[in-house]
Structure 1
Amino acid sequence: MHPTTPDGRYFVVKGQLWRCSNPALPDEKRQHLVHDLMEARRAVKEAKALDDEDKLHAARASVDLAKVALGERGPVWWDDGSPDYNRHKAINTPYADWYHSIDEQQ
């Protein structure tokens, strides 16, 4: 399990922030989108195995569409005007103190 920022916007992997899915999505919708994402990821793997650039491009576009729909990419799902720190090192963001505190606990 990866630690999640106190505001629930990001989880941390190897010191890097990754945006969480929009918690306001209804469970059924989220499950459908996660299913679509997993299918798209399998299509990426298959396209790579086939060395098919056209299929790879289409599969990666499907991954992106699912991630945007989940709120993990694209416009942020929060509405307080806070900037997006997706893919930033936690130590270089306002989450640095929080990150140091959890890092010390592990």
Structure 2
Amino acid sequence: MDSAAQPDRTPDGRYIVVKGRKWRATDPEIPEEAASRLRHHLMAARRAVAAARRADDPAAEKLARSRVQTAKVALGERGTPWWDQSLTERRARWEDGVTALDADRKG
């Protein structure tokens, strides 16, 4: 992605700023391959939320929202702030997220 398309960041790099609102940034230590897989799962889960809402299927929506949460936590955007975790904890967080989301997709 070219840097012109990237959102502004706070000076400490912990947050991105979109339309004046701060959002927790993705953990910069996540290897690109893992981050790409997690973003793919996140977007698929968001599409599943929308489809479940259109179908008025609360059970499917709940499952899809759970997958969104798993992806966001794995990316470091929710849950314990990545800057408060050791590198070992951070690695476990994103590896566990990829594993769970990959298994969920196959299941």
Q: So what's the TM-score if we normalise by structure 2? A: 0.70
Amino acid at match of 1:70: L
* DSSP-derived class of the 1:78 partner: helix
* DSSP-derived class of the 1:61 partner: helix
Shift of 1:15: 2.2
Q: Which has a greater percent of helix?
A: 2
Amino acid at match of 2:50: K
Amino acid at match of 1:74: G
Percentage of identical aligned residues: 52
Shift of 1:59: 0.4
Shift of 1:39: 0.7
Q: Give the whole-Å Cα distance in 2 for the aligned partners of 1:25 and 1:2.
A: 18
Shift of 1:31: 0.6
Q: So what's the TM-score if we normalise by structure 1? A: 0.71
Q: Give the whole-Å Cα distance in 1 for the aligned partners of 2:23 and 2:45.
A: 19
Amino acid at match of 1:15: G
In structure 2, stretches of 5+ residues that fail to align are 1-5, 86-107
Shift of 1:7: 1.5
Match for residue 33 of structure 2 among 24, 28, 40: 28
Note if 1:65 corresponds to 2:65: no
The runs of 4+ residues in structure 1 deviating greater than 2 Å are none
Shift of 1:25: 0.4
1:78 corresponding residue in structure 2: 83
Match for residue 20 of structure 2 among 15, 18, 33: 15
Aligned residues: 80
In structure 1, stretches of 5+ residues that fail to align are 81-106
